[in-house]
Amino acid sequence: MAGRGHDNGNAWQVVMGVVCIVCALVAIAGSGAGQDALSVLGVRGASIPGMRAGVEASSSPSGLPEATAPMEASGSPTPLWGDASPLAGMPSVSSQATQTDGQTQASQPSQSQATTSDSLPVASRASISMSEALQQAQNIRVQQPHVQDYDRGSMFGGWAKTHNQCGDGGNTRDLILARDLTDVTWTKTGCHVQSGTLHDPYTGQRISFHRGKQSSMSVQIDHVVALQDAWASGAWQWTQAKRVEYANSPDVLLAVDGPANEAKGSGIASLAGGKANANRQAWGGEVWMPGNTAYKCDYMAKRVWIKNQYGLSMTQAEKTQTVSTLTACLTQKQAQ
């Protein structure tokens, strides 16, 4: 009996010793040393509450697990034009602004972002090469223009409203002005461009823009392929929604010199009715061309890209002039 009691005593000591070891391991489990020691023993930390995996889950500065800790601000300025805008994809305009003489000076892209090396707006440049433009022009179908029933207001609507921080006060015009002008200032509401400078692609001139009942017309927003031209070459078959989308698409819009835009009109002589022949003589062809000769190739390539992108046709005279012009542009470019 005495021998059995001694054995029981030894067994009890062994059990107590194991318990102490386990307690010690749990106590140091949260430390890196404890994790390493346990890994030597073949024990996985994730299987024991309080191991490093558990500690790291609550190691955010706030004391909360990373998944529930307050998110820090990204540092990016809040876009002036919200996601609900029909012009998603346009460069955002910062709402971080300072008041200057009663106006709002908004953050603007750097000069290299807003303009090209020759100071023209980046958006004025063709998005395809001259060779690509020539190939697309050659493949555009020739069709008699559909001149009936055109009405700009009812068929294409006005400038689309933008859902932004000032409500529905802004519109497409302000978006394009903000994109193409430099040194832009905003009205107090942040809805409208108050002033800026346009390096006009059509004339090559630098135009100072100031918002006002009379002065605003010095810079106008042009559809490179005019709405009447789009209608006559295929848009008459579109849904109303697609026509409104086209009329407000940044891809077809440019801020330009007001008088030049008015002289352009539909941009196609045959759409001018009784003035068709006079326009051809004044323009030197079926298609209106900008007075800035350095921009003619980009202008023609941009027209082709738009017509190809939207499945629009050309008149025979328009296609002939387009192919001839782009061929000369490509030859000139290859010779440089």
Tell me which of 68-72, 185-189, 257-261, 282-286 is least confident. Answer: 68-72
pTM: 0.68
Q: What share of the chain is helix, strand, coil (3-state, %, to 5)?
A: 45, 15, 40
Please tell me whether residues 264 and 314 are part of one structural domain: yes
Last residue of a domain, one of 29, 49, 68: 68
Structural contact between residues 89 and 223, judged by C-beta atoms closer than 8 angstroms:
no
Count of the separate structural domains present in the chain: 2
Q: Is residue 264 part of a domain?
A: yes
- C-alpha distances in Å from residue 268, one per residue of 236, 273, 288, 309: 17, 10, 6, 19
Comparing 40-44, 300-304, 321-325, the range with the smallest average pLDDT is 40-44
Question: What pLDDT is recorded for position 107?
Answer: 37
Q: What is the mean predicted confidence (pLDDT) over 215-236?
A: 97
Given its phi and psi angles, is residue 135 left (phi above 0), alpha (psi -120 to 50 degrees) or beta?
alpha
Identify whether residues 41 and 164 lie together within a single domain: no
Q: Residue 282 pLDDT > 60, yes or no? A: yes
Q: Is residue 221 one of the residues assigned to a domain? A: yes
**Which of residues 177 and 85 earns the better pLDDT score?**
177
On whether residue 8 sits in a domain, the answer given is: no
| pLDDT value of position 17 | 57
Give yes or no: residues 45 and 167 share one domain: no
Q: Is residue 87 part of a domain?
A: no
Rounded Cα gap, residues 20 and 129, in angstroms: 78
256 pLDDT band, cuts 50/70/90, is: very high
Where is average pLDDT lowest: 84-98, 132-146, 170-184? 84-98
Residues 204 and 116 in one domain: yes
For residue 170, pLDDT beyond 90: no
pLDDT at 104 (0 to 100): 41
> Higher pLDDT residue, 9 or 143?
143
Question: Average pLDDT over the chain, rounded to whole?
Answer: 75
Q: What one-character DSSP code corresponds to residue 201?
A: T
Res 36 pLDDT > 50: no
Instruction: Return the bridge partners of 105, or none.
Output: 98
Residues 46 and 103 in one domain: no
Residues 147 and 35 in one domain: no
39 and 134 co-located in one domain: no
pLDDT given at position 157: 96
Same domain, 320 and 224: yes
Query: Hey, what are 271's tokens?
Result: 């759409």
User: In this predicted structure, what is the pLDDT of residue 123?
Assistant: 96
Q: Is 114 among the domain residues?
A: yes
> What per-residue confidence (pLDDT) applies to 88?
42
Per-residue confidence (pLDDT) for residue 66, from 0 to 100: 26
Domain-located, residue 10: no
The verdict on residue 7 lying in a domain is: no
Mean pLDDT within 37-52: 35
pLDDT tier at 144 (50, 70, 90 boundaries)?
very high
| Confidence tier at 243 by pLDDT (50, 70, 90) | very high
Residue 29 has pLDDT above 60, yes or no: no
Do 64 and 102 lie in a common domain?
no
Residue 128 and residue 256 share a domain: yes
pLDDT band at 300; cut points 50, 70, 90: very high
pLDDT of residue 51: 31
Q: How large is the average pLDDT for residues 285-295? A: 97
Q: What's the confidence (pLDDT) of residue 116? A: 55
| Residue 79 bridge partners (DSSP) | 94
Q: How far apart are CA 320 and CA 148, in angstroms?
A: 24
The pLDDT assigned to 99 comes to: 34
Q: What is the pLDDT of residue 68?
A: 26
In this model, does residue 102 exceed pLDDT 90?
Answer: no
pLDDT at residue 76 tops 80: no
State the alpha helices, DSSP H only, in 181-291: 227-232, 240-247, 258-264, 276-283
Selected residue with higher pLDDT from 115 and 107: 115
In this structure, is the dihedral angle defined by the CA atoms of residues 98, 103, 107 and 112, taken in order, positive or negative? negative
Q: How confident is the model over 31-47, as a mean pLDDT?
A: 39
Do you know the residue count of the chain? 336
Q: What is the mean pLDDT of residues 31-52?
A: 37
**Given a cut of 70, is residue 176 above it in pLDDT?**
yes
Q: Per-residue pLDDT averaged across 181-196, rounded? A: 93
| 245 and 284 fall within a common domain | yes
- Indicate the DSSP class of residue 225: S
Domain limits for position 274: 97-335
Confidence of residue 169 (pLDDT cuts 50, 70, 90): confident
